[in-house]
Amino acid sequence: MKEGARLQSVIDILALHGADKKPLDQISYGYFKTRRYIGSKDRQAIAAYVYGVMRHRASCDWWALERGVSPLLMAPLEAARVRLCTYLWIFEKLPREKFGILFSGEKYAPSKISDKERAIFEKIPELQTLAPWVEGEFPEWLLPFLKRRFGENLKAEMQAFLDQAPLDLRVNTLKVSREEARKNLEHTGLSPVLTPLSPWGLRCKERENITQTTAFQEGLVEVQDEGSQLIVNVVEAKPGQTILDLCAGAGGKTLALAALLQNKGRIVATDTALWRLKRTKERLKRAGAFNVELREISGLHDKWLKRQSERFDRVLVDAPCSGSGTWRRNPDQKWNTTVEDIKELTALQKNLLEAAAPLVKPGGFLIYATCSLLCEENEDVAAAFLEAHPSFSLIPCGLEKTPFLSLSPLQNNTDGFFAAKFEKIRE
């Protein structure tokens, strides 16, 4: 594809996202699926632009607004053009004359730059300081939430989210050791290194399609961020135990727990979506994990759950959340989340812990985890649970024996994760 055609594809994808609000990766996947003629190198280049614009959307919008152009008041297609032009001008340093060549209006290329869009190239006096949400590339309404979480480190922490996340793998110890898996991947041309925090992790600098390797296809490794692996470590699962993964989703943590149990004991993975559990079933088969029972539940008042009082040594509540900890991978998510979403999610999170508490055996552990940065979804939920449940005590689970496990890209080079660990007191 010519560069102009690539840019038109970028505009198309950004416009689709602006109109639909579905996750950006889903929109991109659907776009490329219906356009098989777009080759892999072109897809990579298009995706790089799309995610570049989304990572720097706050700056793009600020730049345009300062010049009298408001993407927030435009139709999705117009806004997509303005944001792309601004991104190319500010962050890619594209020369002014190149815009006329690339935005030519010829076949497959974007239409010519309009009079309104020309304002993007105007120079104005530079400000000494930018607003925190512009520097940090997030919506303005999130400032008090993120300021509470990071304090004076806000700028540095948020700028770390602008970096591309590494490709982390978890070695499946049911089949292979970490060193054996590393050597296997080296034979395919990758150069994985050991993760510094997770005892089962490998990290690849290359962005190759890991699913095409024999190591992945034979179940030797799974894609899983190191932070997610550390959540599993907090569970302290031991062979022979009975474990409930209450919000199992597609089964990433279920698989890791199965490896820790060495196929001894029992894991029950529940979810309200059968299609997610079907994906887990396929992954379990590939991994050689045979001690997992998959169960679809209707919700927190499911009859099966009611019958499981004090049945489990460990209960993991990997709760639905804002996903703010994954902004390196999903920069669009920050623009799709609202204050109302946070309120609804915290209510759900508290209800999940309320439903999970009776399922834990005396002396057993209840682990609450999110991939959120926000105290409202993390420490506040944990504090509310402890206040309402005096039969549970908080067990320190942080890397430095701190009360909570709290991870971020800047501090740990992982996604943003949180975990709290509660022990059910024996009477």
Choose, from 247, 371, 375, 397, the residue flagged as catalytic. Answer: 371
What is the model's pLDDT at position 114? 93
Please check the confidence at residue 125 and state whether its pLDDT lies above 70.
no
When pLDDT is averaged across residues 122-134 and rounded to a whole number, the result is 81
Class of domain 3-126: mainly alpha
Q: Show Cβ contacts of residue 426 under 8 Å, excluding neighbours closer than 6 positions.
A: 362, 363
| The two three-digit tokens of residue 62, written as one number | 């600020």
When pLDDT is averaged across residues 214-240 and rounded to a whole number, the result is 95
CATH architecture type of domain 167-223: 2-Layer Sandwich (3.30)
DSSP lists the bridge partners of residue 169 as 202, 223
The count of C-alpha atoms lying within 13 angstroms of the C-alpha of 303, restricted to the half-sphere facing its C-beta, is 0
When pLDDT is averaged across residues 261-277 and rounded to a whole number, the result is 92
Please check the confidence at residue 323 and state whether its pLDDT lies above 90.
yes
For 25-79, write each residue's pLDDT tens digit.
Answer: 999 999 999 998 999 899 999 999 999 999 999 999 999 999 999 999 999 999 9
- Quick one: pLDDT band at residue 127, thresholds 50, 70, 90? low
What is the model's pLDDT at position 325? 97
* Fold of domain 226-424: Rossmann fold (3.40.50)
Single out the residue of 319, 420, 320 nearest to residue 379, CA to CA: 420
Residue 202 host element (H or E): strand 201-204
Where are the chain's structural domains?
3-126, 134-160, 167-223, 226-424
For 166-213, write each residue's pLDDT tens digit.
Answer: 999 999 999 999 999 999 999 988 889 999 999 999 999 877 788 888
* SS3 at position 405: strand
- Quick one: pLDDT band at residue 250, thresholds 50, 70, 90? confident
The count of C-alpha atoms lying within 13 angstroms of the C-alpha of 206, restricted to the half-sphere facing its C-beta, is 11
371 labelled catalytic? yes
The answer to whether 92 and 6 are in contact (CB under 8 A) is no
